[in-house]
Amino acid sequence: MALKTVVVTGFGLFRDYTMNPSWEIAQKLHTTGIIEELNINLITTCIPVCYKDVDQIVPLLWFQHEPALMVHLGVSHLSKKLTIELIANGHGYCKTDINGDFPDNECLAYNELKTGLKVECTDELDVCTSQDAGR
């Protein structure tokens, strides 16, 4: 039986940061034993903080790997815990990327995407959920 593929992305450098913790964490997943524990094929990749790259790379990852799950790790200076975003925004991004570009004016067919996964947080983990994906 073929292993289920899970793709985990981290992001590259942005603003004045000399490293992005999301990519540091994604890289380390290979050393945690999670591959053996969950019996998965784990793919990790770093995506530049560039709107055009995100628009090209994410669909390509879906096409190339046909994952059962794709998780995009990110960071926020506002959060004190691991936060699971329950939504993604399709518009409203008004900050420039690493190339000084703004996103194209095209929006997703839906202004907001919601997870189809059942996400519950427990007291055993220092994790919370959020309905504010930020921009």
In Å, how far are 11, 15, 22, 30, 131 from 53, measured between CA atoms? 11, 17, 17, 24, 25
Reported as a single tens digit per residue, the pLDDT across 27-57 is 999 999 999 999 999 999 999 999 999 989 9
Q: Specify the pTM.
A: 0.85
Rounded-to-integer distance, Cα 26 and Cα 9, Å? 6
Contact between 129 and 119 under an 8 Å Cβ cutoff? The reply is yes
> Domains (ranges, CATH) in the chain?
4-130 (3.40.630.20)
Spatial CB neighbours of 122, under 8 Å, sequence gap ≥ 6: none
Q: Which residues pair with 11 in a beta bridge?
A: 47
The more confidently predicted of residues 94 and 25 is 25
